[in-house]
Structure 1
């Protein structure tokens, strides 16, 4: 009788300890988040847009209809929940929850092919990509990772152990819908695996089984999608959702110079140790055991890399969805090293120790620094002065406008944007009509203050200010910028 059989509570204790460990890892990584209570600095551009929309929702406004952005509605719902918990650190709590759950499911995936100790090492190794891709957090990829991990576990358990329940099919469809409602180009997992299962069932003439799979998957997706679409419809935002999330994103994805840029980004996301090991391991395993799962998985990795590279933009957080994608082949690779290739057990413990040190103590300096300076003002130079000027020359019922991409100002001053377009760059360069709509909004609302982000002053804003008799009341230096923050008052 094993120790685990003699003491049934040991397994539960181990799980609790691992859960605590994953929570601590999430805490360490999330030090980078501007929403972290020790940071108090909303400096991540994308995150401040999502938080501004959350603030607007809480004040009775609605995404797409009343404020423009081109991400999926689930992202705004997540931010609204976090903002409602606490305007400063509520979103950070949600980030910690999602990261912890992702690490736990990655560990669960790893255990499909190796023991607990090797699964722990594999989870460490795959998760190190967070150092490269986390990019301040509160981004679509961060929230998508858990849904990718859950579905990946379901698909792999089906291919490896032929285990699939009706409930799992529904969950898999729901996870697909959640990710689709975050950002469309992150659904590579479901495209490849669902297509593979479809082809296999057709080839094996399992038509009844295939029909059941499709029906339950669609049911799961519907359970998530219908309430969101009803929410949008009841608030007269369904058409705007389609225009922003589908049509605008098609334009946005094709607006950058493709070709060389796409190839370059493909190379950037491909050439990490984890991704190289993952693709190579899949190829090696297929030549060894001739199982279709390894070809399918290699195709998934390559297709996923393509979907995040197609925009041709060097946003490193796009690569975050590669983290759960690599855990399965990395686990096989590590299992091969320490079992089939007969590496000494002592070396195993040495490598485990190294992983723990790198994984936990690499950000130790940053973590301790964040704690020691938790009461300090961490906003960029000029931001506090800008907020003081705004608060002195307006009240919370007044609307203001920030020209640029700097929604942080709305959050810090608790002022509402005077236009549906709280930011105008780069969306205005993708669709120039946005600038016309923005200035039409300003003509109607005549905001009390207009704040111009450094480097954004141009003829468009200059003409509007002169035409509507705005005067400059502040010229504030900003960080290392050669241009200052300009504040104009009616």
Structure 2
């Protein structure tokens, strides 16, 4: 029997590792290092199922269907992630087979290997077990202490090394992040967002960039500190939510790691410093306040005030991220009507408005003082509505939802587990509704941007807590709680190892930025076409043009194209950088801009030089 148990454990570990490999980002190094994490986690979990037989009952069909959907998502996501991998291309070239064929074969092999793991999970789900119910905050067996706070800070810092603004990071801020950092830097020179710098995010984001660069003398390090603060606050809030659903503090630790793991998975392309990231703790605040209300059936004035403050902050980051308020506040409203608590409705509205005023009033005064109110309305509201309508429609939104779901394999797994394990179905359904609204709002632009998925992260917190609590229920009584802390420590240390290898301090700048440094002076007016603000940051140069990036704005709005063209004629820059190869572009307004420079070249106003990754127009 002992030999059979060992074989079962080995097979379960290998099967679980295959399942994990299907979910991992497209980094061979990350998979190799993370295999150690999964080996430890599944080896520990295997103890609970050593002699368990795979048994199915009537509920198994629904779970099998759910896992079938999950596997479809895993296969699609795995294929999309790895098809562009240069390392895979090297392997397939040597093997003499096509990329897509090899990746499909690996995905199918991984699915087959992971079937035993899936069968065991379903067997555990349909078996007899104690379901999880939320508990009153007044009867908690644990409260957060200094140790918990320090652990949350440690986990936040370790995950923070995934961010491109981290010290010694080898990566460079992504497209959106570079644009935001450029705005923050120009604000230090007296430029006013919306008026002197076109962008369509909320003023809170630009103030974050401004303040972050201020505390570090213009270095990215200050922005990284603010990012860590946001992750730390989110981690603490996850612990507080865990206390509403679990008597096990370890469930809180595991949920913190799981939440930040899902978060980092959504910003691997951009590298952090994105608008959704800064909204994450504020959305989580709102979720915690509403969940606490339904658990305790009471509220405090300061809770409602914070609900208003957090709403205003998120609204002034990006309006379509008000997921928690759009999904949960109507439920609270109708619940109060159902309970005939009409006086409470008036009080809540009053304190919510007061909370909103704490943020909205100073923001309004800033716009009035800088004479940027009209420009802000044009950029933040008028353009954003048009930007969403340009690509929106039923099919693009559905496709974006499918794309974001495809990036949430781990989230789908905990949604399945928590749906079976949670006794308080009302709260689980409330959270599911929150997830659906978050998914819809994150996909409303109809564009497949990975970082949009960060808006879904708060909706995975409750499923993570419930799943962690349920899984910890298989732990034998004689085992000490320290064992789970060892697992969490192992996960974080190995993740730190991944980041140390990933970011080796390589400070090489791009070819285009090097060209700008060598051929222009610091005060020269240069212009980078497209959406590549990193060249400004790397070279220390700037443009006098309001449209420091042009795509996609000038392609989705002809009026903006006209404004940019008019400004371009009156402010002909000293140097113009065009990423890519000459002559390769879509038939759109951006192409018209390139045709204008070609015309100026023929007239003798500019000369053109070409390189591997860009070409440049130099004013004569």
Q: Same fold (TM over 0.5)?
A: yes
Q: What does residue range 306-455 of structure 1 map to in structure 2 within 5 Å? A: 306-339=440-473, 342-345=474-477, 346=479, 353-362=486-495, 364-370=497-503, 373-374=504-505, 376-380=506-510, 382-389=511-518, 392-394=519-521, 396-455=522-581
Distance in 1 between residues matched to 2:229 and 2:361, nearest whole Å: 25
Contact 2:283 2:458 in 1 (8 A): yes
Is 1:76 the equivalent of 2:209?
A: no
1:168-225 alpha-carbon deviations (Å, 9 max, x no partner): 1101110011011111111111112111111111222211111000110111011111
1:412-448 alpha-carbon deviations (Å, 9 max, x no partner): 2333312110001111111123222112112212222
Instruction: State the secondary structure of the residue aligned to 1:364.
Output: helix
Q: How far did residue 280 of structure 1 move?
A: 4.0
Of the three residues 143, 146, 155, the one matched with 2:278 is 143
Where do 5+ consecutive residues of structure 1 fail to align?
Answer: 1-10, 479-483
Q: How far did residue 344 of structure 1 move?
A: 3.1
Q: How far did residue 237 of structure 1 move?
A: 1.0
Match of 1:64 in 2: 194
Question: Are the structure 2 counterparts of residues 246 and 281 from structure 1 closer, same or farther at C-alpha, using a change threshold of 3 Å?
Answer: farther
Q: How far did residue 385 of structure 1 move?
A: 2.5
Question: Are the structure 2 counterparts of residues 214 and 270 from structure 1 closer, same or farther at C-alpha, using a change threshold of 3 Å?
Answer: same
Q: What does residue range 223-302 of structure 1 map to in structure 2 within 5 Å? A: 223-256=358-391, 258-271=393-406, 272-277=408-413, 279-280=415-416, 283-284=419-420, 288-289=423-424, 291=426, 293-302=427-436
Q: How far did residue 25 of structure 1 move?
A: 2.7
1:231-275 alpha-carbon deviations (Å, 9 max, x no partner): 012211111111111111111112226433322332333353443
Match of 1:7 in 2: none
Instruction: State the secondary structure of the residue aligned to 1:450.
Output: strand
Q: How far did residue 79 of structure 1 move?
A: 0.3
Q: How far did residue 296 of structure 1 move?
A: 2.1
Contact 1:282 1:298 in 2 (8 A): no
Match of 2:266 in 1: 133
Match of 1:4 in 2: none
Contact 1:418 1:442 in 2 (8 A): no
Contact 1:49 1:407 in 2 (8 A): yes
Larger radius of gyration: 2
Q: How far did residue 167 of structure 1 move?
A: 1.0
Question: Are the structure 2 counterparts of residues 100 and 212 from structure 1 closer, same or farther at C-alpha, using a change threshold of 3 Å?
Answer: same
Contact 1:47 1:139 in 2 (8 A): yes
Instruction: State the secondary structure of the residue aligned to 1:111.
Output: helix
Aligned length: 463
TM-score, length of structure 2 as denominator length: 0.69
1:422-481 alpha-carbon deviations (Å, 9 max, x no partner): 001111111123222112112212222222222576442332453374333643322xxx
Contact 2:577 2:616 in 1 (8 A): yes
Instruction: State the secondary structure of the residue aligned to 1:267.
Output: helix
Instruction: State the secondary structure of the residue aligned to 1:63.
Output: coil
Is 1:46 the equivalent of 2:176?
A: yes
Match of 1:219 in 2: 354
Distance in 2 between residues matched to 1:295 and 1:206, nearest whole Å: 23
Match of 2:244 in 1: 112
Of the three residues 140, 150, 160, the one matched with 1:30 is 160
Distance in 2 between residues matched to 1:170 and 1:408, nearest whole Å: 39
Distance in 2 between residues matched to 1:360 and 1:263, nearest whole Å: 38
Distance in 2 between residues matched to 1:338 and 1:412, nearest whole Å: 48
Question: Are the structure 2 counterparts of residues 416 and 131 from structure 1 closer, same or farther at C-alpha, using a change threshold of 3 Å?
Answer: closer
Contact 1:401 1:450 in 2 (8 A): yes
TM-score, length of structure 1 as denominator length: 0.87
Which region of structure 1 is more displaced relative to structure 2, 263-272 or 96-105?
Answer: 263-272
Distance in 2 between residues matched to 1:423 and 1:169, nearest whole Å: 40
1:343-396 alpha-carbon deviations (Å, 9 max, x no partner): 5355987776555434441351332452xx32x33434x14432323xx433x3
Contact 1:451 1:485 in 2 (8 A): yes
